[in-house]
Amino acid sequence: RKLLIEDSNNPVSDGHPTGIQLLEHYINPGTPGNPSGDYRWDIVSGAGNFLISPPNASNPFTITPQGNVGIGTSDIPSGIKLAVCGTIKAKEVVIEMDNWCDYRLDPAFKRMNAQEKLNYILSYGHLPEMDPGDVIEKNGLYTGKNLKGMMANIEDNTMDIIELYQVIKKQNEVI
């Protein structure tokens, strides 16, 4: 193994611009596609970002001076703490939310009636409290906001079903 640290005041010889620190880490034995070994990872600190990537790779691991992280991307949008270009696999993801929807189950809560819901859907083309498809396609799915909207709609629908069941039950008693 070899670790090389070059002074940021001296240009490095492998094409990195002046002022960039380059650390090369060679891993032996060989790797697939490089049986002789010497698979190099470049760790570059430039423009304030810390990048780790295989040579000539377009999918780095990036850490900005603000602590924001990019995995598979060095393009981290403003206000984003973690940007991932690829699939994320996890056993569980926890999203913290304030003002959760359970208040909708309170009998005193005024829900939209069926006609109001129909009018909303016909006017806007999507369920209440949910982002429309074109916004999601343009900006991505804001999971917390839309999960909260889904739960609100599920709770409203549950209460509607219970009310319909009670109406049917009364009608069956009359019949």
**pLDDT in the model for residue 117:** 95
Structure tokens at 107: 């009998």
Question: Among the listed ranges 35-49, 54-68, 150-164, which one has the minimum average pLDDT value?
Answer: 35-49
How far, in Å, CA of 171 to CA of 174, rounded? 5
Beta-carbon contacts of 70 under 8 Å, excluding residues fewer than 6 positions away, are 60, 61, 62, 63, 64, 76, 82, 83, 84, 85
**pLDDT in the model for residue 43:** 54
**CB-neighbour burial class of residue 96 (10 A; exposed 0-12, middle 13-18, buried 19+):** exposed
**pLDDT in the model for residue 1:** 38
Going by the DSSP 8-state scheme, the letter that residue 18 receives in this structure is T
First to last CA, the chain: 86
Type of residue at 44: V
How far, in Å, CA of 159 to CA of 121, rounded? 19
The predicted-structure confidence for 58-112, as pLDDT tens digits, reads as follows 667 788 878 888 888 888 888 899 999 888 998 998 888 887 878 888 889 999 9
Regarding predicted confidence, which is higher, 31 or 63? Answer: 63
Average pLDDT over residues 51-56: 61
Percentage of the chain with pLDDT > 70? 66
How far, in Å, CA of 133 to CA of 145, rounded? 14
153, 128 Cβ separation under 8 angstroms = yes
**pLDDT in the model for residue 22:** 46
Is the torsion defined by CA of 25, 59, 31, 87 positive or negative? Answer: positive
